[in-house]
Chain A
Amino acid sequence: MNKVGAAIKKAVQISPLQLFSRMRGYPGFGVIIATLVIFLTFSLLAPDTFPTLRNLTGIFTIVSELGIIVLGVTFLMISGEFNLAVSSIYAFSAFLFATLANYLPSPLALLITLGVAGFLGLMCGVITLRGRIPSFIATLGMMLFIRGVLLGITGGRSITYGGDAIVPTMLAGLLDHGFRPSHFWFIGLTLLFWFVLTRTRYGNWVFATGGVEEVARAMGVNTNKVKLINFTISGLLAGLSGVIVLSRFGLASPAFGIGLELEAIAAVVIGGTFIKGGYGTIIGAFLGTFVVGMMRVGLILIGAPPFWFQAFVGALLIIAAIINIRLRRLEM
């Protein structure tokens, strides 16, 4: 018998119970099940409206905008830190881009905006690490500071986009059946971040930094550098998402993104990432964002009282956190 035949025989010999046992060890296992259950439930309860292409592309639109932020937050959380300021960076970037694009070509305005957003993310990291304060507190402060500056500058008023159509078309122009470029940006970035996290040395450093930091340092990983890079990425992606949303609506409001930071963290945790870091997957975060997006729209489509959304997400978050802790214990 050749090697392939032996491998097939071995695979066939695995009982369904053993297969389930192996699968549940995967950090994204819970969210895959949750995604399927929620999709099927809403499809059964609202067969005429939920599983339609137009509705699913609509969900994909809000999922993409949240999801691009979630990717950055996932990297950061795996390395053991939070960034609550992403929601304010998102709103600030939308305003900055709209203002700059009124005077500059939109691609240049985009580059400057992303640079500023990345810098704001980096500042969150510098304050956290240099100040030796928990990132929860440092970024909470930055979140309030940036939102306050935005409100102060704008006087609370929305502004409309008056620049060229290059970036808006590239990021959020409406395609057939409700598809948008932002969907493909989200998928592309998910694949890129998945590759970096699972197939590169930097990915190993991210896991090591969020695991036992002292051990990571002893192994030669510059944990502060890893965290600063991840803070910068989280700011940069929040900025990109802000420009996407501005491109979609053609206007920016200082109220954009209020509460988004908690939804992003919820999506990351539902996706299987441990809140204390060291463990998580990009694919899980990708699906976790879909869970949040599907619940948001699905509850309305099935006619459930929409005031219950927060309760559902809260319950799901607790269940996801419990499952994650149990999975970790199983591994030990």
Chain B
Amino acid sequence: MKKRILGLGLSILVAALVVPGCPPVEVEVPVVEPVYTIRVVVHGGIADPFWLAVKKGAMDAAGLIPEVEVIFAGPTVFDFEEFMAFVEAAIVAEPDGLIVTITSYVALDEPLRRAIAAGIPVIAINAIDPRQVTDPPAMIPYLTYIGECHYSIGALVAKKMLEMLEEKGVEPKRALWGNHHPGAFHLEERAAGFIGVMEAAGIPAAQIDVTPCPVVGAELLIAYLKVNPETNMIQPAGTPFAETFIVRAIEEGLDPGEDIFVATIDLSPIVLDHIEAGKMLFTADQQQYLQGFLSVVHMYLHIKYGFMPPPLISTGEALVTAEMIPEVRELVEQGYR
């Protein structure tokens, strides 16, 4: 009995110390359970820093909207068949909204129309149904497309290269565009934009297949330069290819930033180093964090309030040049770019 009284007394003492002098106030924190499930399916790879930023955008948006649960999926590395399996699985799960990359409008036409007919609203990100531009009535009837305009970003790279060469007082002679997935619509469109602007400026431009391997790609670009030594503008095919190409170009006795001018699309720490060191002119940034973030926000607003987003939301074809590097590097490390 004595022990019990002692124990009770100690408990009261501890309670008094822990909650000094004020009566307990019960604060009711409303716990909101997610009521809307939004599935995001991308063509990957989801381990790629590029897609990690898209995922972060989608998850950050979900974090701000407690009613929303986001499930993000895609193949580890680019694999179209696996991506299609993820899309089918997402449709079968009957989410409240589906956000998807239109990697192939032909392959996705039937399943997405089926999903939309079943009442699942769809938003396209990153890769567009090209018919939205060429033949709008025939396009997959998704709510909106959020991402880069592929042709425009290719054209932007060409315009900025020409502009920077003019500033440097260098005559543009020939341009080259590397493509690591020939036949992929968005890459072909980017190439068309780049070549279109170059040719309109009277500069010969070509596209070559650099294969998915950056080691082989660098050799192929160098081989092209041997045949066409007047080439002084190159977009090697994304960041891994820019990284290997710069090394090979220097080895071949070229001086990137002086006699050959390199730009690319997307960001990587090594590419930022090259831009800072003057070996590359710039990189184009499609701000993919916004593709994840805005798509979830617009999907939520549509599901809950029926708002209709504008049919095309460009995430902005931004450019990263040398003077922007410190700020951008911090954002890359934080996973926003």
Residues of A within 8 A of B (CB): 46, 49, 55, 58, 61-62, 65, 147-148, 151-152, 154-158, 160, 174, 245, 248-251, 253, 255-260, 296-297, 300-301, 303, 306-307, 309
Contact = CB atoms under 8 A, between A and B. Distances in A.
A251 B244 CA distance: 8
Nearest to B182: A307
A58 B219 contact: yes
B270 A46 contact: no
B49, B182, B218, B226: most-surrounded residue (chain A CB, <10 A): B226
Contacts of A58: 219, 222-223
Contacts of B269: 157-158
A296 B224 contact: no
Contact of A257 (B77, B215, B251): B215
A308 to B, nearest CB: 9
B251 A65 contact: no
B240 interface: yes
Find the residue from B77, B182, B212 having the highest chain A CB count within 10 A.
B77
Contact of B247 (A55, A151, A251, A255): A251
A61 B247 CA distance: 14
In order of increasing CB-CB distance, the 7 nearest A-B pairs are A151-B47, A156-B48, A258-B212, A253-B240, A300-B223, A297-B223, A306-B208
A256 B213 contact: yes
Contacts of B236: none
28 contacts: A46-B227, A49-B226, A55-B223, A55-B226, A58-B223, A147-B77, A148-B77, A151-B45, A151-B48, A154-B47, A155-B49, A156-B47, A156-B50, A157-B49, A158-B268, A158-B269, A251-B244, A251-B247, A253-B244, A255-B212, A256-B215, A259-B211, A259-B213, A296-B220, A300-B227, A301-B226, A306-B220, A309-B209
- Residue from A62, A251, A300 having most chain B Cβ neighbours under 10 A: A300
Interface string B237-265: 00110011001100100000000000000
A238 to B, nearest CB: 13
Given A151-B47, A156-B48, A157-B268, A62 B219 contact: yes
Given A58-B219, A259-B211, A156 B270 contact: no
A256 B214 contact: yes
B144 to A, nearest CB: 28
B216 interface: yes
B73 interface: no
A98 to B, nearest CB: 13
A155 B47 contact: yes
Interface in B185-222: 208-209, 211-216, 218-220, 222
A49 B223 CA distance: 9
Contacts of B213: 255-260
A95 B55 CA distance: 25
Contacts of A49: 226-227
Given A258-B211, A301-B223, 6 more contacts: A49-B227, A152-B47, A156-B49, A158-B270, A258-B213, A300-B208
Contacts of B214: 253, 255-256
B76 interface: yes
A300 B219 CA distance: 11
A312 to B, nearest CB: 12
A151 B220 CA distance: 25
Contacts of A256: 213-215
Nearest to B47: A151
Contacts of A301: 223, 226-227
B85 to A, nearest CB: 15
Given A306-B208, A309-B209, A296 B244 contact: no
B280 interface: no
A8 to B, nearest CB: 47
A325 B278 CA distance: 55
Contacts of A147: 76-77
Given A58-B219, A174-B251, A256-B214, A158 B227 contact: no
Interface string B45-69: 1011110100000000000000000
A161 to B, nearest CB: 11
Contacts of A253: 214, 240, 243-244
A257 B50 CA distance: 20
Contacts of A157: 49, 268-269
Nearest to A155: B49
